[in-house]
């Protein structure tokens, strides 16, 4: 039986979101097909083997159990990164399913570790993960692919401390209000603000700097938000389109994403004109191809409420994975159940790994 390593938690601000995603996957994954090895990563970055109950994952109780197991059986519970030790990760699992969101999980770093250890894994590779995670680089790539997006401007800690007045004037001239200020590498709306004047702009730059030294400032669109899920290696298979009706009317913030209960609504399929739907689908495909996506992703769009223009917002290479999340629900609407979706993701991970190995062996 294939031993699947499920990775959850992690050092990013999205640690809790990852716990929820992993708990959901563990509730539905077909255990007659896969043997599951759970690797929880603490906020401090310690990797722990966990074999306790699934119910203890979402609320964080898993960690104390895993720490205790490690102190009692260090020879079994320690995870060693080197490839030849019998305790090494590569000997324990056949395939990796990373369910981590944000930096050190969704950004290519963990994917790089799997590559160097020769472990096949689910989802996007190193480059596409890194590109999609970095909001500045992603916008540059979308621009080259000819995709319509909000006006944007990049800045960084050095520029802000050198002359923040000049920078804010430039933002007002080139972007205007309302504007969105975002750390380049983050997700779940952490460190992100919508600003309407100079005072809010100054505060927003400071709070974004707490998460990254690079910042993107974007023109704020008065918009509907819709998303499409993608599956496939290089070539995108697209789901139905879903719309988010956020509990917070200003924008889809952290609380509307995870703490709003049923006040945030997902509307699947979204009500759209045929033209808009066709446009969204073409853009989702082009964006996935532009980042060289593999496995799966969710492509998010903003639709201008005034004139209907479709803007690409971002690609999430490890989108929320709970049973209430948009990504699995879009596939359910498209006829793929949650357990089938996980199997497809594993298949695609193996297919990519095999194709790359064949290439390296010179067969292609």
Residues binding ligand ADP (CB under 6 A): 150, 180, 182, 186-189, 192, 218-221, 223, 225, 251-252, 300, 302, 313-314
Q: CB of residue 208 vs ligand ADP: minimum separation in angstroms?
A: 11
CB nearer to ligand ADP: give 50 or 321.
321
CB nearer to ligand ADP: give 134 or 277.
134
Q: CB of residue 46 vs ligand ADP: minimum separation in angstroms?
A: 26
CB nearer to ligand ADP: give 239 or 313.
313
Q: CB of residue 221 vs ligand ADP: minimum separation in angstroms?
A: 4
Q: CB of residue 225 vs ligand ADP: minimum separation in angstroms?
A: 5
CB nearer to ligand ADP: give 251 or 324.
251
Q: Are 51 and 69 in contact (CB under 8 A)?
A: yes
CB nearer to ligand ADP: give 11 or 182.
182
Count of CB atoms within 10 A of residue 336's CB? 19
**Can you tell me the distance from the alpha carbon of 191 to that of 209, in angstroms, rounded to the nearest whole number?**
8
Q: CB of residue 21 vs ligand ADP: minimum separation in angstroms?
A: 15
CB nearer to ligand ADP: give 79 or 260.
260
Q: CB of residue 186 vs ligand ADP: minimum separation in angstroms?
A: 6
Q: CB of residue 36 vs ligand ADP: minimum separation in angstroms?
A: 29
CB nearer to ligand ADP: give 221 or 229.
221
Q: Pick from 178, 181, 182: which is nearest to 197 by CA? A: 178
CB nearer to ligand ADP: give 251 or 353.
251
Q: CB of residue 251 vs ligand ADP: minimum separation in angstroms?
A: 4
CB nearer to ligand ADP: give 63 or 314.
314
CB nearer to ligand ADP: give 94 or 225.
225
**Can you tell me the distance from the alpha carbon of 295 to that of 120, in angstroms, rounded to the nearest whole number?**
12
**C-alpha distances in angstroms, 341 versus 34, 100, 329?**
14, 17, 10
**C-alpha distances in angstroms, 87 versus 42, 90, 91, 266?**
19, 8, 7, 43
Q: CB of residue 256 vs ligand ADP: minimum separation in angstroms?
A: 8
Q: CB of residue 341 vs ligand ADP: minimum separation in angstroms?
A: 21
């Amino acid at each position: 039986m294939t031993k699947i390593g499920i990775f959850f938690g992690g050092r990013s601000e999205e640690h809790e979101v990852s716990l929820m995603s992993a708990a959901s996957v563990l509730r539905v994954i077909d255990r007659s097909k896969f043997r599951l090895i759970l690797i929880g990563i603490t906020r401090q970055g310690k990797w722990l083997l966990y074999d306790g109950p699934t119910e203890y994952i979402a609320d964080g109780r898993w960690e104390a159990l895993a720490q205790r197991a490690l102190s009692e059986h260090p020879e079994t519970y320690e995870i060693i990164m080197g490839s030849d030790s019998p305790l090494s990760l590569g000997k324990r699992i056949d395939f990796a399913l990373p369910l981590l969101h944000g930096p050190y999980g969704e950004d290519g770093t963990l994917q790089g570790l799997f590559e160097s250890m020769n472990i096949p894994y689910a989802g996007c590779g190193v480059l596409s993960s890194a590109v999609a995670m970095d909001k500045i680089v992603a916008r540059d790539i979308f621009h080259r692919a000819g995709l319509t997006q909000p006006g944007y401007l990049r800045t960084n800690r050095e520029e802000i401390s050198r002359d923040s007045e000049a920078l804010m004037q430039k933002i007002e001239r080139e972007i205007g209000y309302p504007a969105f200020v975002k750390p380049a590498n983050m997700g779940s709306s952490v460190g992100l603000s919508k600003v309407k004047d100079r005072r809010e702009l100054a505060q927003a730059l400071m709070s974004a700097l707490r998460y990254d030294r690079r910042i993107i400032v974007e023109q704020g669109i008065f918009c509907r938000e819709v998303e499409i899920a993608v599956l496939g290696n290089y070539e995108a298979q697209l789901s139905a389109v879903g719309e988010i009706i956020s509990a917070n009317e200003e924008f889809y913030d952290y609380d509307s994403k995870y703490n709003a209960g049923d006040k945030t609504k997902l509307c699947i399929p979204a009500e759209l004109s045929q033209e808009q739907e066709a446009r969204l689908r073409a853009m989702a495909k082009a964006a996935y191809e532009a980042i060289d996506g593999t496995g799966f992703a969710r492509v998010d769009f903003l639709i201008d409420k005034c004139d209907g223009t479709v803007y690409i917002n971002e690609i999430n290479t490890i989108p929320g994975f709970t049973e209430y999340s948009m990504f699995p629900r879009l596939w359910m609407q498209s006829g793929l159940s949650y357990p089938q979706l996980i199997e497809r993701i594993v298949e695609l991970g193996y297919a990519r790994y095999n194709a790359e190995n064949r290439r390296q062996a010179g067969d292609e």
